[in-house]
Amino acid sequence: MLEVKGLRKVYEDTSRTVEAIRDVSFCVGEGELVCIVGPSGAGKTTLLKCIAGLLAPTAGGVIVEATPVVGPPPAMAVVFQEYGRSLFPWMSVHDNVMLPLKQKNMPAARREELVRDALAAVDLKGVESAYPWQLSGGMQQRVAIARAVAYEPHVLLMDEPFAAVDAQTRADLEDLIRVLWRRLRVTVLFVTHDIDESVYLGQRVMVMSQAPTVIMEDVAVDLPDERTQLETRSMARFGELRKHIYSQIQLAKQGWRPPAG
Amino acid sequence: MSALGPLPRRIAVALALPVTLIAAWWITSAGSENFYFPPLQTIVQTFGKLWFSPHALSDVVPSLWRFSVGYLAAAFLGIAIGIPVGASRNLRNVLEPVLEFFRAIPPPVLVPVLILFAGIGNEMKALVIMFGCIWPVLLNTVAGVRALDEVLAETVRSYRIGRFARLWHFTLPGASPLIFTGLRQALPIGIILMVVSEMFAASDGIGFALVQYQRTFALPEMWSGIILLGIIGIVLSLIFRAIETRLLGWYHGLRQSQRAG
Ligand SMILES: Nc1ncnc2c1ncn2[C@@H]1O[C@H](COP(=O)(O)OP(=O)(O)OP(=O)(O)O)[C@@H](O)[C@H]1O
Ligand SMILES: [Mg+2]
């Protein structure tokens, strides 16, 4: 489904070069929900942008649905870290969700239906005609998610989407992602720096080292598929997993990296 | 903003000074024997006779026509050139020195040159107006395109939004606050050049009429012509304001919500 092979990314300016990603390889199966955690500045956004075809890798490459990525792949949607800035301030909520659909060849009625369903799925009925800046941060984030959902992507990339919302909204949005993922059978790659969030959401958690980045560990999350904030988070296994990942991140911050190969 | 209070009071505040000035002019000039400064009453009577007659149309209509053609051509060209220039650093590097040079030329000096190419007809005047008005529009469009939000640009790219939709739904609205700044700056320039170009070589127009009155020492007529130009300026800027309020409503709302938040 999605394959990253020997990816390396070096930012080169006239003044300095930054090796953000050294060597990252992994596979994501169809319909999987994989979380990526790593310390700030680990190159998570860089990795996501390479997968999204927004940045050209320095070496290696990405394959999505059997096609090498050279530009943004057709069946992919990205929810950006700076969600507030990713909504068009001159368009209503409805038009923001609609715009990408206009590129798709389908009857107008079907488009309207997709917009309506997506906004209903993120619990945003009744604000269709509002401008994004008239909404709260959590609502804006849900508009960005609705836009991605309405697009009917096969792959959904999310970059720290809940970093700027309050704890309660965050818990709600996490559950929303689980619900949407299970309902739409979409492949999700979810970047976060929150260890609890990664364990709660993911089927797998990939721990990234500091830049220049390699993958420290690929942890399988063997928690039941049915997850609720209260129960799942108080399971013994949840605690073990988060402790394990926490120690990995501590190692990463101290600069430890897995032996090459 | 909020200190202004309700609408009737705002109107009263806006009109207070103009009314006082007119009253002062009216009273001090009443019964004036000074040939150069006739009583305002005489000027107003002349104004009514002169500019509300069918004959007046033969001067006002050509002027407004030249202004409209020149201004709208400048607006169109300024935006059409400004968008690719703003989007491409290479184009900017090539064009900037040339643009700076042309911008430094005071437009009225072009009148004699343009008479050679375009004669003394409407084309010449519209060209002079266009040449003066294009710079603020062009430079502000370039700045507006350069200031387009990067996250929004990546959103457009990742949803594979096509060229036309990109221009219409992203580039133009995103740059529109600065484009409107340029258009507003061009408004008085256009009026000045309209009058100046008609003073040089013309057989009709407000500028032509003013020179005629001055040469024949028709002082009340001359003063009333100057007042007419002032009124035209105000009406044009009111029309402009109405259009801007409609098209940039989102921008003012966004700014206000950013200030509040
Ligand atoms: N456009 C750029 N030019 C140069 N260096 C960059 C650029 N973008 C990112 N970097 C560098 O690459 C490294 C990784 O950045 P990246 O934004 O991918 O990290 P991140 O893991 O997403 O961090 P955060 O959790 O803070 O979002 C950092 O050292 C950063 O300074
Ligand atoms: Mg990031």
CATH code, domain carrying B69: 1.10.3720.10
In a domain, residue B96? The reply is: yes
Work out the mean pLDDT of chain A and round it to a whole number. Answer: 91
The response to whether residue A254 sits with its C-beta less than 6 Å from ligand 1 reads: no
What dotted CATH number matches A2-75+153-253? Answer: 3.40.50.300
Interval A201-239: pLDDT, tens: 999 999 998 878 889 889 999 999 889 998 999 999 999
pTM of the model: 0.88
In this complex, do A54 and B158 lie within 8 Å of one another by their Cβ atoms? yes
Residue in B151, B154, B158 to test binding to A, most A beta-carbons within 10 Å: B158
Would you kindly state where each structural domain of chain A is located, as residue ranges? 2-75+153-253
- Has residue B34 been placed in a domain? no
Burial of B32 (0-12, 13-18, 19+ CB in 10 A): middle
Q: Does the residue B180 lie in any domain?
A: yes
* Diameter of chain B measured on Cα atoms: 75
For ligand 1, whether the C-beta of A41 sits within 6 Å is: yes
Q: How many domains does chain B have?
A: 1
pLDDT tens figures, B207-228? 998 898 889 988 888 888 899 9
Residue B8 inside a domain? The answer is no
Q: Which chain B residues are within 8 Å of A131, Cβ to Cβ?
A: 250, 253-254
Average pLDDT over residues A76-101: 94
Residue B194 lies in a domain: yes
Q: Is residue B237 part of a domain?
A: no
pLDDT digits (tens, 9 = 90+) for B153-173: 999 999 999 999 999 999 999
User: Residue A36 pairs with which residues in a beta bridge?
Assistant: A191, A206
With an 8 Å Cβ cutoff, are B173 and A88 in contact?
yes
Confidence at residue A63, expressed as pLDDT on a 0 to 100 scale: 94
Q: What domain range is B164 assigned to?
A: 60-218
Q: Is residue B6 part of a domain?
A: no
pLDDT at B63: 93
Low-confidence residues in chain B, pLDDT < 70: 1-5, 261
Rounded CA separation A208/A21 (Å): 10
Scan residues 108-137 of A and list those with Cβ closer than 8 Å to B. 131, 133-134
Give me the pLDDT at residue A159, please: 94
Query: Which residues on A lie below 8 Å from B155 (Cβ)?
Result: 78, 80, 86
The reply to whether residue B169 touches residue A131, judged by beta carbons under 8 angstroms, is no
CA B12, CA A247: separation in Å to the nearest integer? 70
A20-71 pLDDT per residue, tens: 999 999 999 999 999 999 888 889 999 999 999 999 999 999 999 999 999 9
Contacts for A158-161: CB closer than 8 Å, 24+ residues apart: A158/A78, A158/A79, A158/A188, A158/A189, A158/A190, A158/A191, A159/A44, A159/A45, A159/A48, A159/A78, A159/A79, A159/A80, A159/A81, A159/A191, A160/A44, A160/A81, A160/A191, A160/A192, A160/A193, A161/A79, A161/A81, A161/A83, A161/A190
What residues of B are in contact with residue A89 (Cβ under 8 Å)? 250-251, 254
pLDDT at A91 over 90: yes
CA distance A36 to A159: 9
* C-alpha distances in Å from residue B112, one per residue of A38, A74, A110, B126, B130: 69, 58, 61, 14, 16
Query: Is B253 near chain A, with CB under 8 Å?
Result: yes
- How many CB atoms are closer than 10 A to CB B45? 13
pLDDT above 70 (res A8): yes
At residue A260, the pLDDT reads 62
Per-residue confidence (pLDDT) for residue A39, from 0 to 100: 86
